Amino acid sequence: MSSGDGMKPKEWISALQARLDRQPRLLVAGAAAAAVLFLWMIYVPPSLEIRRLGVQWRSLRAESRQSRQLLDEFYQGGAALLPGSGHLPKVLEMLHDKALQHGVKIRGVTPGNAREPSAEGLSVFPVEIQMEGEFHSLGEFLGELRDPSVLGMVEVRRFRISRDEGLLPVLRADLSLEIALRQE
């Protein structure tokens, strides 16, 4: 549109203004549509994912509560199978017998003071044991202590081996145990 088309400058300006009036509306409408589409693409997938994760979270919490309840029932049932705290001498005797079966000589046993009973009714008795034996015998004896069917709940807290040149191949070992017994 030039003024040489036979249009007067006022007509030319009016035509240009009419054209510009229509273009911003289209531009604004197009920009608004693009913004809505952009926000839709950004907002909808994460919100669907958040909903899906919320459902999974509730499911996991329910499973966790159920697992915790089963573990508590199992733990209480297992604690009932443990010998009572009055049986500590018998447990120490069984410990001594197991050591002898593996060729380990017990040089000394020092029982400690029992800790306060837990909520499940278990008392923990610390025991220090000094022993001698060949390397493999000591290892087999410790392996036997790991099995709860042997002595119940026994936890090895510390194990220290020292060698005496005059005793080789026999080693000396100090063992700190915690024995869990049912409170009577």
Does the reported pTM lie above 0.75? Answer: no
Give 86-102 pLDDT, tens digit per residue: 566 777 788 888 889 98
Residue 183 DSSP code: -
CATH architecture entry for 85-182: 2-Layer Sandwich (3.30)
SS3 34: helix
For residues 125-151, give the mean pLDDT.
82
Distance (Å, whole) CA 18 – CA 37: 29
Give 33-76 pLDDT, tens digit per residue: 888 888 888 877 888 888 898 999 999 999 988 888 877 776 56
pLDDT band of 81, cuts 50, 70, 90: very low
